[in-house]
Structure 1
Amino acid sequence: MISPCFPPVETPVPPRPLASQAPIIPPPPPPPHSPNLAFPPSPSSLQAPIPPPPPLPPPSFATGAAPPHVFGLEKSHLLKKALEKAGPVPGSREDVKRLLKLHKDRCGLVALWMAGTLLAPLSGIPLERLMQMAVERGYSAQGEMFSVTDMGRLAQEALGCQAELLCGGLGGPNRDRVLQHLVAGHPLLVPYDEDFNHEPCQKKGHKAHWAVSTGVLLGVQSVPRSGYAEDPELPGLFHPMPGMPCQPPALPDEGSAGAVYLLSKQGKSWHYQLWDYNQVRDSNLQLTDFSPSRAADGREYVVPAGGVRAGLCGQALLLRP
C-alpha cells in the first residue's frame, strides 16, 4: 500500500556508498587577482608604471559570520565540472530513444523506468511492460501519469519496491526527509513544470512533467573529518568513501543561503542536471491546472478526480528497495 501523506517519523537510514550519493562542496575560493595581459605595455607605461589596483576583498563567509556561498551554475566552474562528470542513466539509451519517438507523453513512465534501473539494476522491467501495466490498470491512456498515487501503486507492483507518498510539498518538515532519502542513495520521483531547457519553471501545471532525482549536491562550510574523500580531479568536491561509515554533514537550513542542488534527470535529455532545490520545490507546489493545449488536442488522458491539483500538486514519491 501507499504510505499516508503524513507518515510517522522514521529513524534515518544510514547512507550507503553509492555512485549517486551526494557529493559535498565547500565554497570555492575567490579567484586570485591577475593583471590583464591581453595587450603588451606601451612605452609610456614602462617609464611611468601605473600602480596595480588593490587586491579583492575576501568574501564575507571567510570570517564564518555568514553561510557559505556557492555561485550559480552559469558561473561556477566547480559545479559545471561536477555536472559534466555525471554520466548517463544506466540502461539502454537507444531503447529509450526509440520509445520516446513513439510515445511523447510518457515522461512519468520513463522516470519510473530510470528509477528502476537504480533500485533493481539486474532485474530491470522493460519500458513497454510499464506502459502496458499502466493502461491495463486504468492509470494512463497513452503513457501520461497525472496521479502520484497511481504512480506509487505502479512502482510497487512493477518494481517490487517501497513507495512512500509525500504530500504537502518538498519544503518544511518534508525537506530534511527528502534530503536524507537522497543521501541514503534512494531515488525520488517528482512532478514539476518543465521549462524550454528542461529545468523547473512555474506554468500552473500546463507543462507538467516528471523527473527522477538520484543525488544531492550540498554547499557546506566544512566536510566531516572521516568517511569522505576529495575528488582527484575536482578539488573542493568530496564523496562518501565506499565501505566506510560516514556521518552526513549538517544540512543547510531552508531559509539560509546554503546551497542545495538536486541531481536530476528526465526523459527528454540524456544527461543529468543540477537543479536548485527551492526551484524544484516551488515548481512542484504550483501544479494546479490541466494544459489547455492538451485539452484541445482531441486525445484521451486519464486525470484523477480533482484534476491536476489533486493528482500532482505538492506531491512526490520516495522509492526504496
Structure 2
Amino acid sequence: MPGEDGDNSAPRPIPPPPLPPPVQVPSVPQSDVKSKFYKKVAESSDPSAGECNELKRMIKNRQSRFSEELKWLLYNQHVPSLIQEGPQCGLVALCMAGMLLDINNDISLGRIVDVAVSRGYTAQGEMFSAANMRHLAEEMFGCQCELLTGGMEGENRIRILHQLTAGRPVLIPYDEDFNHEPCRRDGHRAHWAVVSGVLFGIKNGSFRPDHDFPGLYYPTPDSCVLECEDIQETYLVAKQGKSLRYQLWSYKSVSQSNGQLLHLDPKRASDGTVYVLPKGGVAAGLCGQVVLLKQH
C-alpha cells in the first residue's frame, strides 16, 4: 500500500523484452516454382503412357496445315520429358536422348552435368560445342556418335532422316523462339532439342492406318522403302528442356535455324557470367552441326 508520503513501496515490474523481429523468409521466384513443379511431373510420369495419343492430338489440332491429299506417315520413339533448370538445354536434351537409347539407364542429369563441368565442356550447364556434345554422349552412354557438319540439307538430310526412321535420336542446336519454335536470331537464342521422330507427307505407299485419325499412318515391318520423290513434306518430332510437350517443326525451319547460329547473345556476353565457348565461338561450335547417336 502507498505510504503516507505517497511513495509506492512495492517494486515495479520489469517490462518484458521486445519481441524478436519476424524471420524474413526469402520469396521463391515463380519461375523456380514452375520449373520444380514441371520437373516433378516429368519425374513421376509413366514413360510409356500416352506417347502416341499426345502426338495424335497435336497433329489433329494442327490438321489444317496437313494436306488431305497426302498420307501422313509417323515414325517416333517415345522420349520421357525432362525440364531444365538454368542454361542446361543441351545436357537435358542429351539426357533425354540417352533415355531413348536405353529407357532403363540410370545415368542422372546431375551426373551428366558433373562430368561435363569436370571435362571443361561447360561452366553453367551451357553447351556451345557440338563436338564436345558428341564426346560427352559417347562417354556417358557408351554409344556411337556421328557429328554432321555443313548443315542439314543434301546428303546430311538423308542421313538424319535415315537415323530417325531407324528409331535413333538426333541432337540439334537451333535458335528458340518464345513459343519454342525454331527461329533465326543469329544464334542469340541458341538452344538444343532432341529429335525422336519424323512425320512425312507422302503420295504413295502401303502403311498401317490409324483407326481413330483418318489420314495418319504408321510403318509396318514390310513397308516399302520410301522414295525421295514420294516425300512431299517433312516435320520433325522433338522435345526440349522448357516444355513437357512434344514439338512438331517443319524440317525446313529447323534446318534454316540450325544453319545461322553465328554469335553469342550480346546480353550474355556482357552479363559477367562465365561460359565455355570453343575457339571460333558459337559459329564454330554449333552452326550447321548435328549429332547422331546410336548404340554400339
Same fold, TM-score > 0.5, yes or no = yes
Rg larger for: 2
Residue in 1 that maps onto 2:219 = 240
Divergent runs of 4+, >3 A = 70-74, 76-79, 86-89
Q: Indicate conservation of the 8 Å contact 2:79/2:97, yes or no.
A: no
Residue in 2 that maps onto 1:303 = 277
Question: Which stretches in structure 1 are left out of the alignment for 5+ residues?
Answer: 1-18, 22-69
Residue in 2 that maps onto 1:320 = 294
Q: How does 1:91-106 map to 2 (within 5 A)?
A: 96-97=82-83, 100=84, 103-106=85-88
Change (3 A) 1:89 1:181: closer
Residue in 1 that maps onto 2:241 = 267
Q: How does 1:1-321 map to 2 (within 5 A)?
A: 73=62, 75-76=64-65, 89-90=79-80, 96-97=82-83, 100=84, 103-224=85-206, 228-241=207-220, 244-252=221-229, 258-321=232-295
Q: Indicate conservation of the 8 Å contact 1:107/1:144, yes or no.
A: yes
CA RMSD of the aligned region, Å?
Answer: 2.8
Q: Indicate conservation of the 8 Å contact 1:109/1:127, yes or no.
A: yes
Q: Indicate conservation of the 8 Å contact 1:287/1:312, yes or no.
A: yes
Paired residues in the alignment total 235
Question: Which stretches in structure 2 are left out of the alignment for 5+ residues?
Answer: 1-49, 53-58
Change (3 A) 1:140 1:289: same
Amino acid at match of 1:233: D
Rounded Cα–Cα distance in structure 1 between residues aligned with 2:89 and 2:151: 20
Rounded Cα–Cα distance in structure 2 between residues aligned with 1:88 and 1:177: 20
Q: Indicate conservation of the 8 Å contact 1:193/1:202, yes or no.
A: yes
Q: Indicate conservation of the 8 Å contact 2:77/2:196, yes or no.
A: no
Residue in 2 that maps onto 1:31 = none
| 1:140-181 deviation line (CA, Å, top 9, x unaligned) | 001000000000000000011111000000001111111111
Q: Which has the higher contact order (CA 8 A, sep 6+)?
A: 1
Rounded Cα–Cα distance in structure 1 between residues aligned with 2:255 and 2:173: 10
| Percentage of identical aligned residues | 49
Change (3 A) 1:195 1:303: same
Q: Indicate conservation of the 8 Å contact 2:78/2:100, yes or no.
A: no
Give me the TM-score of the superposition, normalised by structure 2: 0.73
Measure how far apart 1:182 and its partner are.
0.6
Q: Indicate conservation of the 8 Å contact 1:89/1:271, yes or no.
A: no
